[in-house]
Amino acid sequence: MDFINESQDAEYFFWDFDNGKTSEEENPSMIFEKPGDFNVSLIAESKFRTDSITQSILINPPTVLDIYCFDSNLDPLNSGWVRVWKTLENAQRDRSPLYSKIADSNGLVTFKNLEATTYYVYVEKNMEGGKYAGGGTVGPLVINKINTYGALLYFQYSRKKSTEKNPVFREDMIFTEGNSEKE
């Protein structure tokens, strides 16, 4: 978050962000690591005068997308590659994903600070003789919440002359949804 100093003729500035951090910059930026109410204070000094102001700000929790990847036996699909796009056109062409991460040992990938909209997701893990793969839509996400989805992927055998070079998004891709109140 950017803070703008509007004091006139001041030469010294002291900001207290009410989160244990301070700054002496004229117009500082601050990243709040946790949500909550904060009383941000500014002391501005010139040769002849000192002024101060305090303003309360509310920092909301981020909008989070959690995707748990499972194989058809409901085992976590760790090391699966998860890509996220905002438009179906980019997703179908496998062009410029907004986000791309590898699932952890629990099959989980977390994306933070997203917009509350619908996203196109493709999950893939190459294996000997084929791959687990699938794509679909998630959302629209609920703002300032943890949006949790599960992706159930089936094994696809490789073909020598496959024409599918880009992700395939189908309505029958199995994604389950659940929103969490955790912050």
pLDDT class of 6 with cuts at 50, 70, 90: very high
pLDDT value for 135: 84
On the question of a cis peptide bond just before residue 76, with omega within 30 degrees of 0, the verdict is no
For residue 10, the model assigns a pLDDT of 95
Q: Do residues 94 and 167 make contact, with C-beta atoms less than 8 angstroms apart?
A: yes
Q: Which H/E stretch holds residue 88? A: helix 88-92
Report which of 107, 65, 71, 69 is spatially closest to residue 86, judged by C-alpha positions. 65
Instruction: Quote the pLDDT of residue 131.
Output: 87
pLDDT of residue 176: 56
Instruction: Spell out a b/e string for 107-146, using b for 16 or more CB atoms within 10 Å of the CB, else e.
Output: bbbebeebeeeebbbbbbbeeeeebbbbbbbbbebeeebb
Q: pLDDT of 120-139, one tens digit each?
A: 999 999 888 888 888 888 98
pLDDT in tens, 34-71: 999 999 999 999 999 999 999 999 999 999 999 999 88
Task: Name the residue with higher pLDDT: 172 or 57.
Answer: 57
Residue 15 · residue 42 · CB < 8 Å: yes
Asked if 141 contacts 61 with a C-beta cutoff of 8 angstroms, the reply is: no
pLDDT > 90 in the chain, percent: 60
Q: What is the pTM of this model?
A: 0.69
Domain formed by 12-59, architecture: Sandwich (2.60)
* Burial zone of 65 (CB within 10 Å; 0-12 exposed, 13-18 middle, 19+ buried): buried
Average pLDDT, the chain: 86
Q: Which CATH superfamily is domain 64-180 in?
A: Carboxypeptidase-like, regulatory domain (2.60.40.1120)
